[in-house]
């Protein structure tokens, strides 16, 4: 559809959004376009009631709250764009509130589960790369899209930090602990040269063909390691675990906000609820009068 193509170009060129973010918008809005088509309407004819009905349909389909919030964000972006382009006279999404993000607490692994995951010995010839990525994901709380987008020049292994380009092209510098650094050094020395052969790539993590790792391929590998460790892993589990364990270890919210790349500290504050929930669980299990 021409409107969605133009909007995608606008996001990437005018707004400078990363490719994965543009793809997320496109997927969400393609579903909305199909919903409108079933109503016999063009996407450009979107009105407030259409949006409400579409969100209700998502909720009734047991779509995750976070996914409904993301869909709402995509619709807001498209509505503003159509208003700016003169395709409509008023913004149909104005003042519409999306469902509370993180209505349910994000899942975090126990420290014991993380240790079990990181001790799995992969059978694949690419295990050195995969476990290196898992170690770094938990070490620094990266988003998966940020992890696969890292380039060799983003690392300062001597100083122990990595430079990350996050959402909205915002750059941040995150420390990585010594075990993650050692895993990266091993990967660079043992495996990456074999994968690259005589090819050249700026990306740190590459496939057997020398191409950049994709989010889909990494999550497939992570699922396999999770099964081997007896852990049910889902997207962002290690990022949630990083944040929760940092807070439990005494990290302050502002520092954690910077490391996670949250623009709003209220997003970071959800992890205080996770820590409180775990504290109550421990209390109930171990206090003699609980």
Segment holding 29, helix H or strand E: helix 19-38
Q: To 5 degrees, how large is the angle CA 51–CA 54–CA 58? A: 135
Instruction: Considering the candidates 70, 143, 192, 245, report the single residue annotated as catalytic.
Output: 143
**What local confidence, expressed as pLDDT, does residue 158 receive?**
93
Q: Which residues of 51-62 are buried (b: 16+ CB within 10 A; e: fewer)?
A: beebbeebeeee
Would you call 143 a catalytic residue per the annotation? Answer: yes
What pLDDT score was predicted for residue 144?
A: 86
Q: Strand 161-165 vs strand 171-175: parallel, antiparallel, or unpaired?
A: antiparallel
The DSSP call for residue 206 is: B
pLDDT of 275 reads 64
Residue 107: active-site member: no
> Which residue in 192, 236, 240, 245 is the catalytic one?
236
pLDDT at 102: 44
**pLDDT value, residue 192:** 94
54 labelled catalytic? no
* Annotation marks residue 48 as catalytic: no
Catalytic residue among 70, 129, 192, 239: 239
Q: Beta strand 161-165 with 155-156: parallel, antiparallel or unpaired?
A: antiparallel
Supply the pLDDT for residue 92: 86
Output the tens digit of pLDDT for each of the chain's 290 residues. Answer: 788 888 888 887 877 878 888 888 888 899 999 999 988 998 889 988 888 888 878 876 767 777 888 888 889 889 888 888 888 878 888 777 666 544 455 678 989 999 999 988 877 789 999 999 999 999 999 988 899 999 999 999 999 999 998 877 788 999 998 999 999 999 999 999 999 998 999 999 999 999 999 888 888 888 888 888 998 876 678 988 999 999 888 889 899 999 998 877 877 877 776 666 655 665 566 556 55
At 154, list the tokens.
Answer: 């983003």
DSSP E strands: which ranges in 67-214? Answer: 155-156, 161-165, 171-175
pTM metric for this prediction: 0.63
161 annotated active-site: no
CB 70 within 8 A of CB 27: no
Q: Give the bridge partners for 171, in sequence order.
A: 165
Whole-angstrom distance, CA of residue 138 vs CA of residue 60 = 34
State residue 22's pLDDT score.
82
Question: Any catalytic annotation for residue 172?
Answer: no
Domains of the chain: 2-84 (1.10.150.130), 111-285 (1.10.443.10)
């Amino acid at each position: 559809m021409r409107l969605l193509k133009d909007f995608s170009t606008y996001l990437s060129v005018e707004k400078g959004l990363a490719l994965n973010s543009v793809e997320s918008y496109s997927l969400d809005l393609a579903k909305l376009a199909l919903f409108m088509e079933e109503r016999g309407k063009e996407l450009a004819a979107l009105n407030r009631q259409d949006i409400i009905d579409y969100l209700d349909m998502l909720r009734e389909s047991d779509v995750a709250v976070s996914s409904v919030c993301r869909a709402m964000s995509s619709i807001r972006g498209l509505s503003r764009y159509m208003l700016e382009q003169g395709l409509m006279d008023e913004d149909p999404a104005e003042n519409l509130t999306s469902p509370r993000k993180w209505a349910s607490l994000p899942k975090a692994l126990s420290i014991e589960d993380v240790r079990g995951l990181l001790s799995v010995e992969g059978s694949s010839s690419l295990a050195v790369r995969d476990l290196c990525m898992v170690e770094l994901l938990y070490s620094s709380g990266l988003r998966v899209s940020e992890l696969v987008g890292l380039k060799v020049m983003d690392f300062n292994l001597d100083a122990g930090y990595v430079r990350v380009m996050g959402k909205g092209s915002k750059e941040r510098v995150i420390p990585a602990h010594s075990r993650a650094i050692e895993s990266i050094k091993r990967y660079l020395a043992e495996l990456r040269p074999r994968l690259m052969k005589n090819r050249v790539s700026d990306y740190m993590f590459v496939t057997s063909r020398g191409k950049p790792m994709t989010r889909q391929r990494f999550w497939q590998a992570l699922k396999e390691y999770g099964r081997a460790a007896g852990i049910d892993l889902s997207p962002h589990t290690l990022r949630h675990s990083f944040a929760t364990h940092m807070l439990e270890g005494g990290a302050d919210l502002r520092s954690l906000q910077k490391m996670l790349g949250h623009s709003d500290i209220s997003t970071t504050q959800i992890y205080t609820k996770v820590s409180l929930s775990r504290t109550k669980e421990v209390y109930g299990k171990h206090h003699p009068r609980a």
